[in-house]
Structure 1
Amino acid sequence: MSTMVATTLQRCRRLYRRIWRRVGPRQYPVPDLSRESVGPLEAFYAYRGLPCLIQCRLADCRWFGPTGIAYGRDSLHPYVQSLRQYLDGECRSYRGSCLETYWQHWQPSTLAASLGVSSDTAHPWLRRVPPLSDFMPWSDVRQLQLLRTLAELSPQGEGAESSLVSETAVRQVGPKPDWFGERRLNQLVALHRAILQEGYRYQASQRLEYFHQHIVLDTLARGDEVRFLVANGQHRASVLSVLGYASVPALVHVSHRRGPSLVRREDCLSWPSVRQGIFTENQALEIFDRVFEGRPPPGFPRLARAGEATLAPGELEIAPCAQVMPEGSPTERH
Structure 2
Amino acid sequence: MKSRLYRWADRWAVRVADRMGVTLARAKPLDLRGCDIHPLEAWYRAGRYQPVLMDVPLSKLRGLGSAAFPCTRDSGHPFIETLLEYESGKTRSYAGSALERFYQNWQPKNAAEHLGVGDDPECAKLRELDAIEAVLPWSRNDPALQRANVEGAVTLTSLSESGRTMVARNRWHLLGPATEESGTHEFWRLIDAYRSIKGNGFQRRDVSDGDIRGTVMFDGDDWCVWIGGGGQHRVSVICAQGFAAAPVRVFYHIPTVVRREDSSYWPHVVDGLFTQRAALRVFDRIFEGRAPWRNP
Same fold (TM over 0.5): yes
Q: Give the RMSD, CA atoms, in angstroms.
A: 2.3
Aligned residue runs from structure 1 range 1-334, under 5 A? 29-49=28-48, 50-118=50-118, 121-132=121-132, 135-140=135-140, 142-144=141-143, 146=145, 168-169=171-172, 171-201=173-203, 204-206=204-206, 209-212=207-210, 214-230=211-227, 231-255=229-253, 260-297=255-292, 300=293, 302-304=294-296
Deviation at 1:119, TM superposition (A): 5.0
Question: Is the CA contact 1:93–1:185 (under 8 Å) kept in the aligned structure 2?
Answer: yes
CA distance 1:215–1:125, shift in 2 (3 Å)? same
Deviation at 1:75, TM superposition (A): 3.6
Question: Is the CA contact 1:125–1:148 (under 8 Å) kept in the aligned structure 2?
Answer: no
SS class of match (1:66): helix
1:324 aligned residue:
none
CA distance 1:113–1:83, shift in 2 (3 Å)? same
SS class of match (1:172): coil
1:159 aligned residue:
none
1:322 aligned residue:
none
CA distance in 2, matches of 1:79, 1:133: 23
SS class of match (1:211): coil
CA distance 1:28–1:112, shift in 2 (3 Å)? closer
TM-score by length of 1: 0.69
TM-score by length of 2: 0.77
Query: 1:37-69: CA deviations, max 9, x gaps?
Result: 222211112222410111101111111432221
- More strand by percentage: 2
Query: 1:261-312: CA deviations, max 9, x gaps?
Result: 3111111111111001111111101110111011123xx3x324xxxxxxxx
Deviation at 1:168, TM superposition (A): 1.4
Give ranges in structure 1 of 5+ residues lacking alignment. 1-26, 150-165, 305-334
1:325 aligned residue:
none
Structure 1 letter corresponding to 2:236: S
Q: List, as ranges, runs of 4+ consecutive aligned residues in structure 1 with deviation greater than 3 Å.
A: 122-125, 144-149
Deviation at 1:144, TM superposition (A): 4.7
CA distance in 2, matches of 1:59, 1:292: 11
Question: Is the CA contact 2:69–2:289 (under 8 Å) kept in the aligned structure 1?
Answer: yes
Calculate percent identity across the aligned residue pairs. Answer: 35
Larger mean Cα displacement after TM superposition, 242-251 or 58-67: 58-67
Q: How many residues align?
A: 249
SS class of match (1:37): coil
Deviation at 1:195, TM superposition (A): 1.4
Structure 2 letter corresponding to 1:194: S
Structure 2 letter corresponding to 1:186: W
Query: 1:230-277: CA deviations, max 9, x gaps?
Result: 12100000011100011022111011xxx6231111111111110011
CA distance 1:98–1:69, shift in 2 (3 Å)? same
CA distance 1:246–1:144, shift in 2 (3 Å)? same
